[in-house]
Structure 1
Amino acid sequence: MSRGEALTDEDRAGWLEALRDHETAQPPAGESPHLVMTCSALKRHYRDVLREGGAHAGDLRIRFVFLDAPEEVLTRRAAARKGHYAGANLVHSQFVALERPGPDEKDVVTVDVDRPIEDTVRDVIVSVKGTMMQDDGAYLRLN
């Protein structure tokens, strides 16, 4: 990626499997039994690999937050980053690979990120808390 080359499905396979395995290997820490991981699960297949961790772990529920913005917005933001290994030239390849979550993917919350970061963060927190409350009354403390 630092050379401006997008990752392939084969490049991502081992990484996604490691994340899936990490989901079930992590004991609850502190007061919350919740684990938050971030990755760009651009394709449904990638999200399905991560879902496998929950399917094999009993009561582990996997949820996704899809941060949605137009390609131009993300290209502009990537170009403004300093010292990041992935340049703005990779944004287009990610949009080519992107499979937006389908209406049947009930475990995905979509949040518009083409606005101030404070609004985005607030909506992500509200969405995550709402999803967790909906699941089983669990509550995640995010300050």
Structure 2
Amino acid sequence: MLTDSKDLTMHVLRKLGYFDDLNADEHEALFCFTNAMGNKHTLRKMDLLPHPADRSQDVREKLRAAFLSHAFSGQWQVVHMDDNAIMFVQQILWKEGLLTESQLTCTQYELIRPMKAYAKKYGLRLMESFNALAFQIQHHSNQNPDKRPMIDFER
């Protein structure tokens, strides 16, 4: 149980793995959290899903309201950047010629540059954090025509 504060949203995102040293951009942490399938579903049911005209501060307030709500169980999706997800991104980058075979075992920090090159190559919005770049790459590589669009909002 957490106590309410003006920093509650970012505190929760840190606990869930969306905001840390490698993912230090608040806007991108909010972006990743709201686009996680389970979180997006819950926020939609609570009528707290961000709108394109919302700013990061508006999204922080919507999430704070969701975190404090008694209308929901309080179970949120943690970030899904396990070894399999990272290897999936590495394979995409390798197939695109952005990683050599020897780099398939590199660290997350070392993956950021090739991930940015992928985003630039395909005209994706340039992000700074590992999670946001990985999310965009995974979403872009998903060829399912029924996939839902990403939720985006202003900085």
Question: Normalising by structure 1, what TM-score?
Answer: 0.25
Which structure has more RCO (C-alpha within 8 Å, separation ≥ 6)? 2
More strand by share: 1
TM superposition score normalised by structure 2: 0.24
From the two aligned structures, give the one with the greater helix fraction: 2
